[in-house]
Amino acid sequence: MRKSLSACIALLSVAFPSLAGATDVLPVDRVKRGVLVREDPTTDSVALGSIAPGGRATLLEEVPGWYRIELPDGRTGYVSKIWTEIGAQALLAAPSGGFKIHVIDVGTGLAVFVEGPGFTLLYDAGSQDDLASENDNRVVAYINKVRPGLTTIDHLVLSHPHKDHLQLLPDVFDRYKIRNVWNSGAINKTQGYCRFLRKVAAETGVQYHDAISSSGAYQASFSGSSCSGTVSIPRAAMMTAAPVQLGSGARMSILYRNAEKHSDPNENTVVVRLDLGSRRVLLAGDAEGGGRLAPSTPPSAGSIEAELIAKPPAELKADVLVVGHHGSLTSSRTAFLDAVQAKTFLISSGPFPYKKVRLPDADVVAELGRRGTVWSTATDDENCGEVEAKIGPDADESPGGCNNILVTVGADGALSTAYNKIAD
């Protein structure tokens, strides 16, 4: 416990971004009376005042262990990082014309919600370990919180048919109208994938796209107790390299698609680049560079990272990377990171191991940390189970759900990142 807690603190210390504009500092949830504001960044220093629970101050600068803040009455001082956090409310109120990228803390899995003028997009929605349904579904609860009036998701991308990327999707169809589905086309004969396809087939007016063909019907057959038979979905058009216009000033380019049969669906991952105004976000799903090896190892021939590196360099360049395969040593080879050139790295992972390995891997986090700021939904998962303020079933003692990551792209291209700690 102690060891993992110190690892979390280490991760937090690399995760402080340079924030554009005014940003709030708030007491953390466990503060009952108030957080002391001190004259200097030490506990021996004189207390000038306090920030009550629910109150806030303006962040001026960061120093080791402390934030220098300005109180509403203009006085300045220092508050301990142990008792405060950077609030995302300033980021939530992003200027109109901007974009938001939310990596929702789904525990061990991935769900990325993107919004901008005239569009919404969801890239994956799955979890290994929190499969609560309906309003307790973390993805539904989160989107409902940040976009309470939303009725439609314009684009839904399923990177590949693994449980930790799709299991929360059926509820999303029940809650929202889905206009376009972009699916790898790879078939995984699981009950979860069967349920997902049944929802797509039943969605009125949906435009379905995959990497296999531009016409006819996509078909997959299942035999199982809760979902079985053949699902048939008419195709609208094939996924191609041609960019898809998302809304005002935003486009989606599918950089990698592969419908061949692989023993591991990770090799079918749909890799997407979003161009949001002047900024670019690369969504790598579970794309890999090979086996679990040091980041300096070249990507193995035929791996997705090797295929991506072979593209013209301008295609891969991005400001933000949603890191491949939950920060595993299978991914984020240095040759790939060199090509992407991102400075902001977002990792979605959770408290439970994949095949005995808990992600993200420390060597990958260290490599990313040398290149920019690293954000992880797995931060502080141990304590999250006891915190009432979290997305999904409150105080259910299940870990995860406390560290959603929010990147805001302002209309002027200013990029900000913070943990969006909210409860449903």
- Residue ranges that bind Zn ion, judged by CB under 5 A: 162, 164, 266, 286
Q: Which residue lies nearer to Zn ion by CB, 165 or 279?
A: 165
Residue (258 or 266) nearer to Zn ion, CB:
266
Based on CB atoms, which residue is closest to Zn ion, 23 or 266? 266
* Shortest distance in whole angstroms from residue 300 CB to Zn ion: 17
Least distance from Zn ion to the Cβ atom of residue 260, Å: 16
CA distance 58 to 37: 12
Nearest CB to Zn ion, comparing residues 5 and 357: 357
CB of 202 to Zn ion, least distance (A): 25
Place of tokens 């013209």: 312
The nearest distance, CB 184 to Zn ion, in angstroms, is: 11
At closest approach, how far in Å is the CB of 326 from Zn ion?
A: 6
CB of 164 or CB of 319, closer to Zn ion: 164
Supply the minimum distance, in Å, between the C-beta of residue 162 and Zn ion: 3
Question: C-beta of 187: minimal distance to Zn ion in Å?
Answer: 14
The set of residues, in sequence order, having a beta carbon less than 8 Å from that of 13 and lying 6+ positions away, is none
**DSSP β-bridge partners for residue 345:** 321, 374
Rounded to the nearest whole angstrom, what is the least distance from the CB of residue 160 to Zn ion in the complex?
6
Q: Decide: 347 and 326 in contact? Cβ < 8 Å.
A: yes
Maximum Cα–Cα distance across the chain: 74
| Nearest residue (CB) to Zn ion, 262 versus 370 | 262
Q: Encoding tokens for residue 168?
A: 């929360």
Name the burial class of residue 343, with classes exposed (0-12), middle (13-18) and buried (19+) by CB atoms within 10 angstroms of its CB.
middle
Nearer of residues 105 and 164 to Zn ion, judged by Cβ: 164
Q: How far apart are CA 179 and CA 183, in angstroms?
A: 13
| 286 vs 367, beta carbon nearer Zn ion | 286
The closest of 151, 139, 140, 153 to 246, measured between CA atoms, is 153
